[in-house]
Structures are given as structure tokens and as C-alpha cells.
Amino acid sequence: MKRRELLKATVLGSSAALAVMNTKNSNAHEANDQADVLIVGAGNAGIPAAIEASDMGAKVILIDKNAFVGGMLIVSGGHISGANAKIQMRKNIKDSYEKHYQDAMRIGKYKADSELLALATEHAASMVDWLEKIGVEFTDESPILVDDHDHYSVPRTYVGVNLARSLLGPLKKELDKRIKRGGLDLKLETKALHLLQDDNKEIIGVKVRNKNGDALDIFAKTVILASGGYGANKDMQKKFNPKVVSAKWVGLPHATGDGINMAQKVGASLSYMDHLISYPGTVFDLKGVPTEISTRLQFPPKHFTQSIWINKKGRRFVNEHTTPDNREVAFLDQEELFFYVLFDARMRTERDSLDIRNWSSKEMDQAINEGNVIIKTDTIDQLAGKLKINPTRLSETILKYNTAIDSNQNDEFGRKEKRLKILQPPYYAFGVGGSVLNTHGGISINSSLEVIDENSRVIPGLYAIGETIGNGHLMGEGVVSGMSVGPAITFGRMVAKTAFRYAQNKHVSKKNQKPY
């Protein structure tokens, strides 16, 4: 760095600014000018990591490709879970982190990473308490059992009064305090392109494109990837999860798996990539386009109480009232990840039958009248014709269903409750496809949250947290309530300590540094 530039950076008062250089000058800086910690992604995981690293006294650079901070917290439900948090204890609910661990293991079909799950559950309560301390307001009902997912054994999910935005507000305030205090440099509209490594394969920074379109090398003693999942990246889904490519991504567009791809290029192994859960899901219109009402249907007992679900072959495929997990598994087997919700005139008039989240009865009536989302016909044959399914098979399916009700028997899928015979015209149906809320695959890490390769060897100086490690590590092959947002914060706070300690002890030889 030229003397004049050095002086400018010092005058600006930003220690971290010293670590940012144009590629041309990338070999010309001093090791002790570097940021200790460079965090990629100012979202759910990255913000707490930056706060904690700053409190440790680290020189921190936090970058985000968006023009704003918050990542998925802007749209997320923000449910978090943890045993023996103060808010749970105030309600005298008996719980333990061991129970939390066991519940999560069970729901994830014993496929979660045991060490990481233990780490997340053991430290969950202090994460929730910390959030309360910084001003997060939870609903009076918290903790609850969440019906969208298979139940924990006790209520231990906490919900912000304004969902995840209740978490984001106080987190952002805390972040701003650290930025004001100095030593924490936030760079928005700065996209990480790839990681920089020295001759010894140590990670020494990130190449970025800044808001002016310039490619820069940002050097740092450690890099934490907190860049989220790949729900918005259809190419990655085609490669890893072809079954769910048609599913609609309901998160924000930044989730393009950048961190996963960057880490893989430096030798990181990936885990759980073949697993991606799609919820049923998204309401489609007659042209096969997802509607505005891209709501989630995964908890039918609360809506479509009486309806049945019919696949493209004209058959039912699941007990519509089974657990969310059973429904999701059955759904994943359906052709084109699609089915129809079918009901008759009687069900339509019974208000409880047509009550779906984010889709009021009035709006549904309007959709029936407009005829662009909900199909209405006078006969089952006509309905089959409109749905392009075999009419004989559809009639057989309905007859079988009605007969089981007549004889008061469980039907072939074990459904016995909340059923009415389908016999009163007109008949109605609408199409449902998949929704994706988060991704299960991601970067493999060890229990120090260091990124590892195929042989479990650490890639020195590189860490990963949040959805970029893939939710499968903590959820296995299920969806475990509050186990994405919460662990992102827990691991964010933890990794800051680990990375800073590593940075303090790291001797970086100037001559070893070269752009990746």
C-alpha cells in the first residue's frame, strides 16, 4: 500500500479499511493491517457473529451483497427453540437440553449431526436469554408447540410478536452500536466472489465486487461464511435435488448458495446435499403458474378439514391428517410434485372446511367465482376432464373414500376423523405444488465450526454458520421447529470467539500471500 493511501486509511479512522485493496496491490500489505475476521453475509447468522467478534476486540469486516442487512430475517417466521430459557422457566415448563436434543434427533429421523446438534441445543437457552436481554419481544403465548412441524415433547418454541422482524430490530441496533464504536466495518452491496488462499492453503481473505463494480481483494486472518442457503438457485437444485425443482422458493432471492460454491472450490466437503424438503405448498392457477396465495398447507387439520388430496393419477396418496413429516414424505413421491385439493358443495359452505392460512374464505369465494384458481364442475367426470386425470379412476377413488366413511372404517391411509362424503355437487378442486423454505445441504464443519474437507481435515482460517452449513446438520431428514434461526444466532456468537482466537495466534507471512 502506498504511503499516501495508508495515511488516507488512517485518517478515515477505519482500521479495517487497511485490509481492503485493489487486486493490483494485493501483495503489498502488512499482515497486522488485516481484519481479524471477515464475515460474508449480514443476515441471521452474520449479524450476531459480527456483534460478538467486535465485543471480543476483533477488527471486523462484515459484507453483504444486498443493500440492506437482515437477510432472511426480513421474511422468516423467526421461530426459535431452546430448553430452559428464562421465558420457558417463567411458565414452569419442565424441560432440559437433553430432551431438546432427543426430540430433534427423533424428528430428524436420527440423521442429524450429533455433535453439532448437541452444541446447538446445549447453548440454545443462553441465546434466547440474550435475545430477550437486547430487547426482543416474544408473544405472551411463547413457548408454544408448533403445528407446522412434528411436535416437540414440550412447548419450547418462542415466537417474536412481529415474527423474525422482532429479532432483527434489536440485532440491528446492537450492530449499529458496534459500527459507531469503531472496529466494525459494514460494506453493503459488496458481493463475495471467491476465497483467497495462500501457498499453504490458508484462507487469507475474499475477492469481492463492490457497489461500484470494482473487483477487490479483502484480506483477513479468518473468514466466516454466513451467506445462507441455496433455495433461490434452481441450477443447484437441478444438480442436487432434481425432484423438487418445480417447487416455489418462498424466501428472498439472495439465497443462491454462493458460500457453498466458494467453499467447495477450496476443497470443502458438502453434506446433506441430496436432501431438500418441499412442503405442500403453493397454490397454482389453472395455467400452472404459482398464485399470489403461495401459502403453506402443511397443517391441514386447521384448514381443508374435510377435503381430500388427489394426485395426477387420480388417487389419494396420504392420510391428509397425518403428521406434517408423513405428509411431506408422501408428497415428495408425487409426480411433478403436484396434487389437487378436492371438495364438494357441502364442504364449501362449512366455513371451517375452507379456512386456509393467508387465504380468507372471502378470497376463496372470489377465486371460485372468477374460476382462474379453483375449478368448479357439476359432475366428477367433468372435474376429471378439467384436471386431465382418468375419470374412472377418480370416481373409484371417491367411491372408496365414501364407502370407508359409510362403514365407519379407517380408510386405506388410516384417516378416520374429520371426513365428509364427497357427493354434493358442484365439485371443486385447485392445484397444489411444492414450496421450499430453506435448504438442508451445505458446507461440512466440525464442532469448532471450522470448514472441513472430505477427509475431515480443517481448511485453516475458514468457518461456516447458518443455513450455509445446511439445515440437515441440525434437522437431519425432518423439519425441527426453530432449529434454523436459533442455531444461526448461537453458532454466530460462538464462531466469533473461535475465529478471533485463531486470528490472534495466526502468523501470516507476507510473502505467502497471493490472490487465489
Ligand X SMILES: Cc1cc2nc3c(=O)[nH]c(=O)nc-3n(C[C@H](O)[C@H](O)[C@H](O)COP(=O)(O)OP(=O)(O)OC[C@H]3O[C@@H](n4cnc5c(N)ncnc54)[C@H](O)[C@@H]3O)c2cc1C
From the CB of 279, what's the least distance to ligand X, in Å? Answer: 11
Name which of 383 and 449 has its Cβ closer to ligand X.
Answer: 449
Q: Three cell numbers at 308?
A: 381430500
* Residue 79 interacting with ligand X (CB under 6 A): yes
Cα–Cα distance between 516 and 514 in angstroms, integer? 6
- Number of alpha carbons in the 13 Å side-chain half-sphere of residue 413: 21
Choose, by CB under 6 A, the member of 169, 300, 466, 470 that binds ligand X: 466
Choose, by CB under 6 A, the member of 33, 36, 55, 64 that binds ligand X: 64
From the CB of 46, what's the least distance to ligand X, in Å? Answer: 6
Rounded-to-10 torsion of CA 438, 443, 444, 447: -80
**How buried is residue 261: exposed, middle or buried, by Cβ count under 10 Å (0-12/13-18/19+)?**
middle
Choose, by CB under 6 A, the member of 39, 45, 394, 496 that binds ligand X: 45
Give the DSSP letter of residue 423: -
Task: List, in sequence order, every beta strand (DSSP E) within 29-113.
Answer: 35-40, 60-63, 80-81
From the CB of 191, what's the least distance to ligand X, in Å? Answer: 4
Name which of 21 and 80 has its Cβ closer to ligand X.
Answer: 80
Cα–Cα distance between 433 and 49 in angstroms, integer? 36
Q: Which of residues 425-464 bind ligand X (CB under 6 A)?
A: 437-438
Choose, by CB under 6 A, the member of 20, 40, 104, 186 that binds ligand X: 40
Residues in contact with ligand X, counted by CB under 6 A, come to a total of 39
**How buried is residue 479: exposed, middle or buried, by Cβ count under 10 Å (0-12/13-18/19+)?**
buried
**How buried is residue 345: exposed, middle or buried, by Cβ count under 10 Å (0-12/13-18/19+)?**
middle
Amino acid at 176: D
Choose, by CB under 6 A, the member of 95, 103, 174, 258 that binds ligand X: 258
* Residue 77 interacting with ligand X (CB under 6 A): yes
Q: What residue is closest to ligand X based on CB?
A: 43
* Residue 66 interacting with ligand X (CB under 6 A): yes
Give the range of 3-11, 62-70, 316-324, 346-354 binding ligand X by CB under 6 A: 62-70
C-alpha distances (whole Å) from 460 to each of 223, 457, 513 are 10, 9, 14
* Residue 227 interacting with ligand X (CB under 6 A): yes
Give the DSSP letter of residue 71: G
* Residue 187 interacting with ligand X (CB under 6 A): no
Q: Which residues bind ligand X (CB under 6 A)?
A: 40-46, 63-66, 71-73, 75-79, 191-192, 226-228, 250-251, 254-255, 258, 437-438, 466-468, 482-485, 488
